[in-house]
Amino acid sequence: MQGAIADISILFNRMAATGDESALWDLHKAYFHRLYRFVYALTGVKEPAEEIVNDVFLALWQKRHLLYNVAKPELYLFICARNKTLKQLKKQKLFTEPLNTLHDFDCVLHRTPHDIMITTELHRRINEAIGALPARCKLIFSLVKENNLKYREVAELLGLSEKTIENQMGIALKKLSQSIPLSFSS
């Protein structure tokens, strides 16, 4: 996944250095859905979640001169999305403790060339098991496994301790291992 981090850094630097609009569109294409699912988990409402994510990209463009050499650009995107979401919830006086009232969202691991070896049935079972996780656990699992954030980055993003993230991942992995048999008969 080192290549993806390098790619996003390159996009940030292109936007900062040259005002390259195509870099913004490439970034939008690569991260819109990931950020949308994160924001939707916090808001539970589709249209405002879309608006918030688009506002994140607009703000990135407006402040592109600050993007040069951002140390953790992927985490930066998620923190921007979180901050915009919390600001919007506060403005609408809907702000509660977002992690206590997480809305359900779909967490689907997509197939990569390596995943093709997994049977369709097992892939379906994995996605069902992920879907059955509690909302907070599923969000943390998604941020770690699907978005490749480190435990400490997820802890920082969600305002939780690293130990909480570790415990939630343990719960997720235990439930997944119980839900998905190592071998099954047809």
Domain ranges of the chain: 2-91, 113-179
For the cut 90, the answer to whether the pLDDT of residue 107 exceeds it is: no
What's the pLDDT tens digit per position in 46-77?
A: 888 999 999 999 999 999 998 887 888 999 99
Tokens of 101: 């009232």
How many residues appear in the chain?
186
Query: Between these two residues, 1 and 146, which has the higher pLDDT value?
Result: 146
For the cut 80, the answer to whether the pLDDT of residue 180 exceeds it is: no
Where does residue 150 fall: left (phi above 0), alpha (psi -120 to 50 degrees), or beta otherwise? Answer: beta
pLDDT at position 2, please? 47
User: How many CB atoms within 10 Å of residue 140?
Assistant: 28
**3-state secondary structure (DSSP) of residue 97:** coil
Among the ranges given (10-24, 86-100, 171-185), the one the predictor scored with the smallest mean pLDDT: 86-100
CB 162 within 8 A of CB 155: yes
Of these ranges, 125-129, 145-149, 168-172, the one predicted with the greatest mean pLDDT is: 168-172
Query: Between these two residues, 136 and 125, which has the higher pLDDT value?
Result: 136
pLDDT at position 175, please? 85
Average pLDDT of span 108-117: 55
pLDDT at position 61, please? 94
Q: CA torsion angle for 53, 1, 150, 112 (degrees, to 10)?
A: 80
2-91 fold: Rna Polymerase Sigma Factor; Chain: A (1.10.1740)
Task: Tell me yes or no: is domain 113-179 CATH 3.50.50.60.
Answer: no
- Rounded to the nearest integer, the mean pLDDT of the chain is 81
Average pLDDT of span 90-113: 56
Q: CA torsion angle for 92, 39, 37, 6 (degrees, to 10)?
A: 160
For the cut 80, the answer to whether the pLDDT of residue 114 exceeds it is: no
For the cut 80, the answer to whether the pLDDT of residue 176 exceeds it is: yes
pLDDT at position 102, please? 54
